[in-house]
Chain A
Amino acid sequence: MSAFGAIFSREAGLAWAGGGGPAGPAAFFLGAITLAPLAIGPAADLLVAVGPGIMGFAALLSVLQSADRLFGDDHADGTAELYLLSGLSLPWLVLAKVMGQALATLWPLPVIGLLGAMMYGVPVLPACVGALALLAAIPALSLIAGFAGALAAGVRRSGLLIALIATPMMVPVLIFAAGAGRSALAGDERALANLLLTVAVSLGTTALAPFGIVAALRSRLG
């Protein structure tokens, strides 16, 4: 397991030191939720109603923000070939990579989601449920972004392509994660169900996506 530990910490270190770490997604997330009230108007009851949804939506977009770096850089400098030649179990390897990067760059998202929801006037309990749902959604979101990133690795202006490929696949996670916050806000009992469904989608993605990422990497390297 030590090889995967090394890859995990390499990826986390690279993302932290080289790519600005959590600053990029966090800044994007903050920017998005700051601009939303300016666009839809500052009416208090409207902002409460859209709060959980905007948090989920903005978090999803900020995950895409760093998706091109993960496999794009490895594709550019030949590290990806070395991974394929290394003889390590590739699905585990890409899982360690994605999770390493996710841990280093995406940890502020639930925190900002919690604070942002409260700034929108959402009560504490629904805001916490929303933040928990974001936390539960991060594995699925970052693995899907990683899959799109592996497909588009090395393509010029891959960011646009990644967004087009990844967003349709992120639909279920978004529905359940944002739904958890919205149900909690409405005070109905579906909040827990939505939260568990988010966890379920994340677990399912964790089981399946690494194989997809490996297939994508192989197909790009011939």
Chain B
Amino acid sequence: MLSYFSNPQRFDQLARALIPVFGVLAVLLLAVGVWLALLGSPPDYQQGETIRIMYVHVPAAYMAMALYAALAVASFVYFVWRHALADTAAEIIAPIGAVFTVLALFTGSLWGKPMWGTWWEWDARMTSVLVLLLVYLGYMALRAALEDTQQAARTGAVLAMAGIVNLVIVKFSVDWWSSLHQPASIIRLDGPTIHASQLWPLLVMILAYTCFAGWLVLYRLRSQAIRRRVRTLQRQREQAARAREEVVS
């Protein structure tokens, strides 16, 4: 299947079909999710209206981690099978993931002030998400520092795969170190512990964010592929022109 989609033309067809689907889904789900989150769900019995920050914060944090996982998987695919498309995917996922990480940190900070009385606390979950941002930045800095594109691709893949260690730390930090941040309440063996009236808006928002991120990734992947194609065509045309000049002279 991997080699099937590594054909740029097939990928282009697939992306062209999927981009509008993801785009429309993202808009619809965001509309429904925002309505549910802001108006259609009751305020929390303890946290009051501030619970609504959760509906933007949790999906952002989830995307920050999911995109890093996607980055690592894309890097693995590139590292093993050398598909250029996987590398391009890794390259464009990194900044998107970094932005979601910033969003998670920012909304978490806004939520922390009314709930815990502090904008920032050096607890395990918050600090490890900040570290995740550093990992994203390190990955981008390494790619930017290496001028040879193939070296940047391979070296970046090695780093992205090693960085997966941090993802494990982020995920389990709330279980390993008891801290201000609440433990996992949705993905649990014994089922979610949050009430259905809050679970539904949250799930819709998570789906909306996922579709939005999928749309962004595919869109940027396709434009990057087109850019590459243009560059190759330009180079071919220049070479052809040079060859013609040589024949004339």
For the complex, is A71 an interface residue (Cβ under 8 Å from B)? Answer: no
Q: In the A-B complex, list the 5 residue pairs whose CB atoms are closest, starting with the nearest.
A: A219-B154, A165-B138, A164-B138, A219-B155, A168-B131
Describe B's contact surface by its main secondary structure.
helix
Output the least CB separation between A222 and chain B (Å). 7
Check B138 against A168 for contact (C-beta < 8 Å).
yes
Smallest beta-carbon distance B122→chain A, Å: 11
Interface hit among A111-119, A125-133, A147-155:
A147-155
B residues in contact (CB < 8 Å) with A: 79, 128, 131-132, 134-135, 137-138, 141-142, 145-146, 148, 150-151, 154-155, 157-159, 162-163, 165-166, 169
Q: Is the interface of A mostly helix, strand, loop or mixed?
A: helix
| Set of chain B residues within 8 Å of A218, measured between Cβ atoms | 154
With contacts A152-B145, A155-B145, A220-B151 taken as known, whether A169 is within 8 angstroms of B158 at the C-beta atoms is no
Q: Contact at B159–A151, with CB atoms within 8 Å?
A: yes
B150 touches A222 (CB 8 A): yes
Query: Within the complex, which residue of B135, B142, B148, B155 is in contact with A168, where a contact is CB–CB below 8 Å?
Result: B135
Q: Which residue of A lies closest to B136 (CB)?
A: A168
What is the number of contacts between chain A and chain B, taking CB atoms within 8 Å?
Answer: 60
- If A169-B163, A169-B166, A212-B162 touch, whether A164 touches B155 (CB-CB below 8 Å) is no
On whether the beta carbons of B155 and A169 are closer than 8 Å, the reply is no
* B146 and A155 contacting across the interface, CB-CB below 8 Å: yes
Residues of A within 8 A of B (CB): 147, 151-152, 155-156, 158, 161, 164-165, 167-169, 171-172, 212, 215-216, 218-220, 222
Q: Which of A152, A167, A172 contacts B134 (CB 8 A)?
A: A167
**Would you give the shortest CB distance from B244 to chain A, in whole angstroms?**
34
Cα–Cα distance between A159 and B80 once the two chains are bound (Å): 29
30 contacts between A and B (CB under 8 A): A147-B162, A151-B155, A151-B159, A155-B145, A161-B141, A161-B142, A161-B145, A164-B141, A165-B141, A165-B142, A165-B159, A167-B134, A168-B131, A168-B134, A168-B135, A168-B138, A168-B163, A168-B166, A171-B166, A171-B169, A172-B169, A212-B158, A215-B79, A215-B158, A216-B155, A216-B158, A216-B159, A219-B157, A220-B154, A222-B150
